[in-house]
Amino acid sequence: MISLVACIGGFCLDFLFGDPVWLYHPVRIMGNVISLLEKAVRKISRNSKSGLLIGGAVLWGIVVILFTGIPYGVLEILKSKNEIAAFLLEMFWCYQLLAAKSLKTESMKVYMKLKDSDLEGARKAVSMIVGRDTANLDCEGITKATVETIAENTSDGVIAPLFYMLIGGAPLGMLYKAINTMDSMLGYKDEKYLYIGRIAAKMDDLVNYIPARISAIVMVLASFLCGLDWKNAWKIFLRDRYNHSSPNSAQTEAVCAGALDIQLAGDAWYFGKLYKKPYIGEPIRSIRIEDICQTNRLMYVTAIVTMIIFGTFKLLFYII
């Protein structure tokens, strides 16, 4: 019950204030540790394929143990001394692990630049939240990239950590975030990361499998509540949810594309190389910059509905 209340409190704090960038952040610490371990693995393995593969697995295990074990241990020790302090710390960690407000804030920076017809400023703003090359994107390309990022990160940055925190509190949320961060840093399919990041990529696919599908189904309900095209959202979800190299990334993108009656995805440039990608959705209408605001609204309603549904289930579990 304490973890449930801490999760609800963290959820509310994130909605109100967003990421406290002036304080330390667990993901930054995770990133620093992953970078140090990556350098060590490359040095020890001498970049041999088998060495990188084994080293990547060891790296994954060390990061998971550190960033699950330490938060769990700290909370258990604190609970034995001061339960209120333990509760406040867990709530603060839950607050940090959610990214709804920061996702909205960063995406709205893109929207405001586009609204002011500042294309260069919009390209710079969108480059902060997407991995693709943005230097040559036009207004439509920038808007599409922003909408796709909000839709995808509704699962990765909001619903998935919320899902794990509702199950196991902040320690399980930390576990998810560590796995997700390793995938973000190592889970590429290019020559540099193909072997060292293979375990990180596969495990990220595994831990996101259920949350991605929950996110998509709840987003269909949210699209109905937002007055969007929920019937088309369901249709495109069933048809296009696997139109991505990742088994999870297109789940919420498909719902979003259907709800807004637009077409997302397609070919994109990454690190100077063109990657051919299938489209998601149908171009029933042209994409417009207001779709950034609509997608943020869809993300927020999806998060609230998820919190209500799964928070209620957990509460009933404790009562029964």
pLDDT in tens, 54-79: 999 999 999 999 999 999 999 999 99
Q: Is 280 helix (H, G, I), strand (E, B) or coil?
A: strand
Helices (H) and strands (E) counted in the chain, each on its own, are 12, 4
Confidence of residue 110 (pLDDT cuts 50, 70, 90): very high
Confidence of residue 136 (pLDDT cuts 50, 70, 90): confident
Number of domains in the chain: 1
**pLDDT > 90? residue 249:** no
CA distance 146 to 287: 11
How many Cα atoms within 13 Å fall on the side-chain side of residue 300? Answer: 17
Mean pLDDT for the stretch of residues 195-210: 94
Mean pLDDT for the stretch of residues 81-88: 93
**pLDDT > 80? residue 263:** yes
Q: What value does the mean pLDDT of the chain take? A: 91
Confidence of residue 32 (pLDDT cuts 50, 70, 90): very high
Give the predicted TM-score (pTM) of the model: 0.90
Percent of the chain with pLDDT over 90: 76
What confidence tens digit (pLDDT) does each residue in 33-44 have?
Answer: 999 999 999 999
CA distance 28 to 219: 29
Q: Give 12: exposed, middle or buried? Use CB within 10 Å, 0-12, 13-18, 19+.
A: middle
Single-letter amino acid, residue 187: G
Q: Are 121 and 37 in contact (CB under 8 A)?
A: no
Domain interval for residue 188: 2-319
Q: How many CB atoms lie within 10 A of CB 308?
A: 11
Closest CA to 106 of 75, 139, 129, 78: 129
CA distance 188 to 174: 22
Strands (E), the chain: 263-265, 268-270, 273-275, 279-281
Mean pLDDT for the stretch of residues 297-318: 90
Mean pLDDT for the stretch of residues 151-156: 93
Confidence of residue 22 (pLDDT cuts 50, 70, 90): low
**pLDDT > 90? residue 204:** yes
Structure tokens at 198: 């293979």
Mean pLDDT for the stretch of residues 135-149: 92
CA distance 299 to 303: 6
Closest CA to 295 of 267, 241, 257: 257
CA distance 154 to 222: 12
Q: Which residue has the higher pLDDT, 320 or 71?
A: 71
Element (H, E) at 212: helix 198-225
Q: Are 320 and 21 in contact (CB under 8 A)?
A: no
CA distance 11 to 128: 24
Q: Is 171 helix (H, G, I), strand (E, B) or coil?
A: helix
CA distance 197 to 55: 9
Q: Give the lowest-confidence range in 17-31, 137-151, 221-235.
A: 17-31
B/e letters for 28-41, b = 16+ CB within 10 Å, e = fewer, are eebeebbeebbeeb
Strands 279-281 and 273-275 come out as: unpaired
